[in-house]
């Protein structure tokens, strides 16, 4: 048999069910389009690493190449270098959490931690709770283990505790299928909203009452542009499993994150990680240690915060100016994202082609829900990467595309072509073809 016969189709009927069910991340798919210089991308959540000072990077990397290369180039322990753990304990102390190195594990970004947690705790059919919409990388990681993911809506104050309580009442106290609740309490991805202190307190109470683990994912917590620091869930209860990452405050290319959790949880995750990658990159851990101990990283963080604040303000001002009154959106106090809700007859997935033609991309809302159906009239727009001028231009272009849809819909209504306005997403579909 020649290699030409060894096509992928040859094995396609052998793929595991959990992979057949997986959907590609719309964001990953959009990266290709985003590389076109004529298109302004509001789709990816990439930090602007051009803001990092070269001298600091060189200094941190030199340590891994010179003095510490013997350890940096070698396998390390599965849970990570103790020196790196100490650095992360210091970062945790700044945000109000007292953590000891024995409660810390280093991971290959927070993404690996999401996979390890699901792999450790979830049997097919187990219940996982999360904000809806939620981070699509978490949905991808969890879905491999075939959970029943139930979404709890949020409002401007974060996850709705009244709706969580209703869901918990349906699930029942002590239900062994309920494994954990996943939340991004600060500047949620994709919602941009922050959970207020009273809801954080209530969430912890409910976790104790109903016996579920809380997984707190906090990549954006230090990127606050207004308002005061809110204590993490981890500061309210030792039982919380906290996920940190250097991706948004330093560089995602280092693929370094950490978990702070009770020792019993870490011991199990450690076993699973051994089978996944033996250990994370010691080289990258050495670089991260030096970055956070020997370079003025707080100054760089201030640059990040000031830059992203200006970009957020530019996006919000452009939304106020150009978006139609039928649209609503969140006003994030930090992080990277604004969540936009359009009338329910607009399908943001089918609108994406028109947006690309107008030179702008965004992420359609349905990818942030496990059923792939909810949120079709929503979109996530990111302000982290483009200049304020580009953001203003992108929002203007997007408003043009949306207004075309709305006008088309109104024309259908006026012409009496849509007797049932509730099913009007036919209007947006035919709009795609026009
Ligand atoms: C909420 C959330 N969690 C986790 C991640 C993954 O982070 P990391 O780069 O540390 O794997 C991201 C990345 O965008 C994110 O937004």
Q: Could you tell me the distance, in angstroms and rounded to a whole number, from the CA of residue 335 to the centre of ligand 1?
A: 12
CATH 3.90.1150.10 intervals, the chain: 20-48+297-411
CA 245–ligand 1 middle distance (angstroms): 7
Continuous H helices in 23-143: 26-34, 54-65, 69-72, 82-94, 109-121, 136-143
Judge whether 108 and 131 are in contact, CB under 8 Å: no
- Residue 36: band (very low, low, confident or very high) from pLDDT cuts 50, 70, 90: confident
At 24, the pLDDT band (50, 70, 90 cuts) reads low
pLDDT at residue 414, as a whole number: 83
Distance (Å, whole) CA 182 – CA 140? 13
**Would the pLDDT of 39 be above 80?**
yes
Query: Under CATH, to which class is 73-292 assigned?
Result: alpha beta
Share of the chain above pLDDT 70, in %: 90
Confidence band for 427, pLDDT divided at 50, 70 and 90 = very low
Mean pLDDT over all residues of the chain? 91
pLDDT at residue 98 tops 80 = yes
Mean pLDDT, to the nearest integer, of 338-367? 96
Q: Is any atom of ligand 1 closer than 6 Å to the C-beta of 185?
A: no
CA–CA separation, 298 and 313 (whole Å): 22
Q: Which of 244, 245, 288 best tests ligand 1's pocket when mutated (most atoms within 8 Å of CB)? A: 245
Judge whether 215 and 181 are in contact, CB under 8 Å: yes
13-to-9, 17, 20, 21, 124 alpha-carbon distances in Å: 8, 10, 10, 13, 21
Q: What pLDDT sits at residue 27?
A: 53
Q: Is the shortest distance between the CB of 79 and ligand 1 below 6 Å?
A: no
pLDDT for 121-149, tens place per residue?
Answer: 999 999 999 999 999 999 999 999 999 99
192 Cβ inside 6 Å of ligand 1: no
pLDDT at 44: 86
More confident residue, 288 or 409: 288
Please state, in angstroms and rounded to a whole number, the distance separating the CA atoms of residues 118 and 147. 9
Ligand 1 touching residue 219 (CB < 6 A): yes
Give yes or no for residue 252 CB within 6 A of ligand 1: yes
Q: Is the CB of 221 under 6 A from ligand 1?
A: no
Task: Answer whether CATH 3.90.1150.10 is correct for domain 20-48+297-411.
Answer: yes
For residue 243, pLDDT beyond 60:
yes
Domain limits, CATH 3.40.640.10, in the chain: 73-292
User: Does 421 score more than 70 pLDDT?
Assistant: no
What global pTM score does this model have?
A: 0.92
Q: At what angle do helices 297-322 and 388-414 cross, to 10 degrees?
A: 30
Task: Give CA–CA dist 433/429, Å, rounded.
Answer: 7
Phi, psi values for residue 53, rounded to 5°: -75, 130
Nearest CA to ligand 1 atom 14: 45
Residue 420 has pLDDT above 60, yes or no: no
Cβ atoms of 215 and 362 within 8 Å: the answer is no
pLDDT of residue 2 exceeding 50, the answer is no
* Of 61, 19, 6, residue with least CA distance to 287: 61
- Show Cβ contacts of residue 135 under 8 Å, excluding neighbours closer than 6 positions: 184, 189, 190, 217, 368
């Amino acid at each position: 048999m020649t290699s030409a016969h060894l096509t992928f189709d040859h094995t396609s009927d052998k793929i595991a069910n959990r992979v057949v069910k997986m959907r590609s991340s719309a964001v990953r798919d959009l990266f290709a389009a985003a590389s076109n210089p004529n298109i302004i991308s509001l789709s990816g959540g990439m930090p602007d690493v051009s803001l990092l000072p070269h001298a600091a990077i060189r200094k941190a990397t030199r340590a891994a190449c010179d003095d510490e290369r013997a350890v940096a180039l070698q396998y390390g322990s599965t849970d990570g270098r103790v020196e790196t753990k100490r650095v992360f304990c210091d970062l945790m102390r700044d945000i109000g959490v007292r953590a000891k190195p024995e409660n810390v594990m280093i991971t290959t970004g927070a993404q690996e931690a999401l996979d390890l947690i699901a792999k450790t705790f979830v049997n097919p059919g187990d219940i996982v709770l999360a904000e809806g919409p939620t981070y699509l990388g978490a949905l991808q990681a969890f879905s491999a283990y075939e959970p029943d993911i139930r979404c709890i809506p949020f409002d401007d104050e974060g996850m709705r505790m009244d709706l969580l309580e209703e869901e918990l009442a349906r699930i029942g106290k002590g239900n062994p299928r309920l494994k954990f609740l996943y939340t991004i309490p600060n500047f949620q991805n994709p919602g941009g909203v922050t959970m207020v202190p009273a809801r954080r307190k209530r969430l912890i109470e409910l976790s104790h009452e109903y016996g579920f683990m809380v997984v707190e994912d906090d990549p954006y917590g230090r990127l606050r542009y207004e308002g005061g620091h809110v204590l993490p869930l981890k500061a309210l209860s030792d039982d919380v499993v906290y996920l940190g990452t250097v991706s948004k405050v330093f560089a995602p290319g280092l693929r370094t994150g950490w978990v702070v959790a009770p020792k019993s949880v870490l011991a199990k995750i450690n076993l699973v990680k051994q089978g996944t990658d033996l250990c994370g990159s010691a080289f990258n851990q050495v670089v991260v240690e030096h970055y956070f101990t020997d370079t003025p990283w707080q100054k760089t963080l201030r640059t990040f915060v000031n830059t992203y604040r200006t970009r957020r303000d530019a996006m919000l001002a452009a939304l106020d100016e150009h978006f139609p009154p039928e649209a609503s959106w969140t006003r994030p106090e930090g992080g990277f994202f604004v969540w936009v809700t359009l009338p329910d007859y607009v399908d943001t997935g089918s609108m994406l082609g028109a947006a690309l033609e107008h030179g702008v991309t965004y992420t359609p809302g349905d990818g942030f829900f496990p059923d792939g159906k909810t949120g079709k009239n929503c979109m996530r727009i990111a302000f982290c990467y483009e200049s304020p001028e580009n953001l203003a231009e992108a929002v203007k272009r997007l408003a043009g595309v949306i207004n075309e849809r709305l006008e088309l819909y109104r024309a259908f209504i006026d012409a009496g072509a849509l007797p049932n306005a509730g099913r009007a997403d036919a209007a947006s579909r035919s709009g795609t073809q026009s």
